[in-house]
Structure 1
Amino acid sequence: MKIVAVHSSPRPNNLSHTRVLLSAVRDYLHSRRPDWEFEAIALWGRRVSVCDGNGRCFRTDGCVFDDDAEQIIEQMLDADGVILASPNYCANVNSTMMTFVERTTRLSHRRLLTGKGALALSTSASPFESTHAADYLRRVLGSYGASVVDACNVGSPMIVFDYGDSEHGRMMRRHVDDFIDAVADPRRHLPDESFGIDVRQQLRDNPEFARRLFRSDATYFAEAERRGTTAHGTHQ
């Protein structure tokens, strides 16, 4: 199994709560599933253009911008499990993560992460458990169609990085255990909360109206079915 963790912390190494949390997640994951691959992808410093709403991603399943976002999206599509992680900035994800999420709209329209396990993580430097960022990322992953487990937020002072036998450590391990189960058996963790419209379902329930409203998506799904593949390219 291949796990891809995309994070948006601007801080390096042990100065970053988010990087430290992901390191703890990786180590525990490898203790449970030593043969699973784990790759952390830092958004900070990568070339991710701001979405301008041109709509090309719906017409061609690609983007007019040739930058690092497209490569990262492909890595998410190739993975068996996806983690999104961000620090809390003003009670939400930071602008680096938001810019990337806005570039992934076609993943939501077409539920392209269906069949993959997912986990949303957030951190803050304060001891207050502000879950807004992790909750938002959970809804994002659910909108992708992923089998996302409960969101995990860790709030602690800057000097606290204890993921051993501590409250934070036990909480992290519970969430990673659920994530491992979701990767292994996605049907057990279907998202119960999301946002946006499930276009494929709308095409089933209201075909005439939906085909007019979502012409590009209808063409995309029809072509995928003609090729005998799912929306993200795997054979049915």
Structure 2
Amino acid sequence: MKVLAIIGSPRKKGNTYHVVGQIRENMLRADPDIDFEYLFLRDSNLQMCTGCFVCIARGEDSCPLKDDRDLIRAKLSEADGLIFAAPGYAMGVPGLMKNFIDRFAYTCHRPCFFDKTILAVTTIGAARGMKQTLSQLAVLAGGGRVMKLGVTMPPIPMTGAARAKRKIDKASAAFYDALKEQKKRLPAIEDWGWFYAFKTFCSVEAYQKACPADIAYYKDKAEYFYPLRGHYARRLLGKAFKGIFKLSIGLMVERPPLGRPFRRL
């Protein structure tokens, strides 16, 4: 098994790194053959996203920025398990990690990590902001299996170190067990909504012109992002969402006057 830990802290060996280090030690004790790799964003050549929308509209290979993104993408693809780790700064992830999320924003339209087991890890000085930071770290999962670990690490000595260690040990064990199982998560309500929202938009002529990369991605995905066998109740729920989104998006999308196509921006 191969695990890739993306460290999104501007400090190379801060609290977040040490928590991920404890996870690594726990996993290697369980299986010494695990290939565990760190990738520090502070040491990577990942230019600032310009918000051009090209990766979403025309495809990730059309990104005008030429740097380490493709190297990072290859490492993400090769790993069985991913750890997205960053401290909480001002109620959210640091700029390094936010830029990483932005550079891979196309996965919010075209998810690609369903076969990965993902652990989001954050360290914060107090309780506030933990939930928000973990939610940001999970953005790229795209319906995949995500576990979350938030550890409070105040700047002064305080009680709670033993409790923090128990949380880390528990998260390490859960992540390791999920890696061994390698089982795709069944779609939840929000996953069905996500899929059929994009699937329905892909039937809109204006969207087909605006985002051809999405059209190509969803073309062969009739029912969900990946094949579902059995689970008839879940699939019936999905069909209900299909009807709901077809009706609601049909009412929301502005139609051009007869004989006058939309002007492309």
Tell me how far 1:191 sits from its aligned partner: 7.4
Tell me how far 1:190 sits from its aligned partner: 5.1
Task: Output the amino acid matched with 1:45.
Answer: D
Q: Note closer, same or farther for the CA distance 1:85–1:219 as it changes in structure 2 (3 Å cut).
A: same
Tell me how far 1:181 sits from its aligned partner: 2.7
Q: Indicate if the aligned counterparts of 1:88 and 1:123 stay in contact, CA closer than 8 A.
A: yes
Verify: 1:27 aligned to 2:25, yes or no.
yes
- The residue correspondences of 1:23-102 to structure 2 (distance < 5 A) are 23-58=21-56, 59-62=58-61, 63-102=63-102
Provide Cα deviations, 1:159-214, integer angstroms capped at 9, x if missing partner. 66999x8211110111122222332334364575979x745x44655652386364
- The residue correspondences of 1:28-177 to structure 2 (distance < 5 A) are 28-58=26-56, 59-62=58-61, 63-124=63-124, 126-128=125-127, 130-131=129-130, 132-138=132-138, 140-143=139-142, 145-149=143-147, 151-158=148-155, 166-177=162-173
Q: How far apart in 1 are the matches of 2:46 and 2:89?
A: 19
Q: Note closer, same or farther for the CA distance 1:18–1:135 as it changes in structure 2 (3 Å cut).
A: same
Gaps (5+ residues) in structure 2? Answer: 227-265
Task: Please give the secondary structure, in 1, of the residue aligned with 2:86.
Answer: strand
Task: Output the amino acid matched with 2:28.
Answer: H
Task: Output the amino acid matched with 1:146.
Answer: G
Task: Please give the secondary structure, in 1, of the residue aligned with 2:49.
Answer: coil
Gaps (5+ residues) in structure 1? Answer: 231-236
TM-score, normalised to structure 2's length? 0.70
Aligned length: 216
Q: How far apart in 2 are the matches of 1:207 and 1:116?
A: 26
Task: Output the amino acid matched with 2:26.
Answer: Y
1:233 match:
none
Q: Indicate if the aligned counterparts of 2:144 and 2:184 stay in contact, CA closer than 8 A.
A: no
Task: Please give the secondary structure, in 2, of the residue aligned with 1:88.
Answer: coil
- Give the share of equivalent positions with the same residue, in percent: 25
Q: Note closer, same or farther for the CA distance 1:35–1:117 as it changes in structure 2 (3 Å cut).
A: same
2:232 match:
none
Q: Indicate if the aligned counterparts of 1:129 and 1:155 stay in contact, CA closer than 8 A.
A: no
1:185 match:
181
Q: How far apart in 2 are the matches of 1:110 and 1:193?
A: 18
Task: Output the amino acid matched with 2:203.
Answer: E
Q: How far apart in 1 are the matches of 2:10 and 2:78?
A: 25
Q: How far apart in 1 are the matches of 2:15 and 2:41?
A: 15
Q: How far apart in 2 are the matches of 1:175 and 1:39?
A: 18
Q: How far apart in 1 are the matches of 2:9 and 2:158?
A: 16
Tell me how far 1:221 sits from its aligned partner: 4.8
Tell me how far 1:70 sits from its aligned partner: 2.6
TM-score, normalised to structure 1's length? 0.78
Q: Indicate if the aligned counterparts of 1:129 and 1:154 stay in contact, CA closer than 8 A.
A: no
Which deviates more from structure 2 when the two are superposed, residues 202-211 or residues 107-116? Answer: 202-211
